[in-house]
Amino acid sequence: MDGQRHRTGLTGFASMPPAPPAHPATQDLEALAAIRDLLAGTRFALLTGAGMSTDSGIPDYRGPGSAPRSPMTYQEFVRDAANRQRYWARNHIGWSHLKHADPNKGHYAAAELERRGFLTGLITQNVDRLHEDAGSRNVIDLHGRYDQVMCLDCGRTYSRRLLAGMLEELNPEFLARAEGTGLVEMAPDADATVEDEALIRSFVVANCPACGGTLKPDFVYFGENVPKDRVAKSYAVVDEAAALVVAGSSLTVMSGLRFVRHAAKDGKPVVIINRGATRGDDKATIKLEAGVSESLHWLAAELPPL
């Protein structure tokens, strides 16, 4: 999805990144060649973060040009009905736009690397499901998925699309009114920052259709633990690999950083491709500060067959 498509409807997306170059910059080719040579003949694990999806029009949390944010924590969500109202109002706006996001060439490159047998698995910190949309199959959605919601009381899950229909029935004209407010900032989890407090307070929250309980997006909030089975599967993917490649993650949270530390502790090469510094830079065998999508696209084309 290009920037123009993302800007239809609500205006003023303050977090929108600049358009990346179509190909790796000349100064990056030497580092990419070194990465290619390091990975040639091996199978590696791929860990992706929000920087993977910025070329699809989804802004990240911490990359260059992103606006400072304080995402709602799990504790804030569960303890206060007003917080849930605020969250679902913003999420309803964000979902109406981010559901249209398309995979970019980085997602397709990851799928191609998998198809050619290079990947032991793909671990993503993103909840946008764009890897799956691009054709990747062996994907661990470490933080969950934003196309599902779950009931905290009965445990049932529902599609986010079904919930969107429920919210539209409960809140007719809400999106049209939100569009008239002007500046709206987006986040990778379909959250949106809206300044109109009266609009937020008017929002009616939907309950679980089965038990009337509290609905929550089926992804890991800040302050919430990643399920142990996903962590175990991710470690297994790294253990099976000869190297670890990190693409588009600042590694600020431990959920991703632990795999870098694990690989480095086992003496495996760690490649980090990210615009800006990461918490794992001191463990990197090669660090490339460059666009993720064009870099992975180049590697998928240049790596020799296994």
Edge to edge, what strands does the sheet with 270-273 contain? 139-141, 119-124, 44-48, 243-247, 270-273, 286-288
Q: Could you tell me how many residues make up the chain?
A: 306
Both tokens assigned to 56: 């699809």
Whether residue 147 contacts residue 160, with contact meaning beta carbons closer than 8 Å, is answered with yes
CA proximity to 126, closest of 61, 176, 74, 177: 61
DSSP 73: B
97 is catalytic: no
Helix or strand run (H / E) with residue 141: strand 139-141
CA-CA-CA-CA torsion sign (95, 130, 124, 247): negative
Q: Is residue 9 classed exposed, middle or buried when 0-12, 13-18 and 19+ CB atoms within 10 A define those classes?
A: middle
Closest by alpha carbon to 259, among 61, 60, 53, 45? 45
As a whole number of angstroms, the distance between CA 259 and CA 251 comes to 10
Of residues 97, 107, 131, 143, which has the active-site annotation? 143
**How far is 294 from 136, CA to CA, in rounded Å?**
18
Number of Cβ atoms within 10 Å of the Cβ of 286: 18
Which residues are identified as catalytic?
A: 143
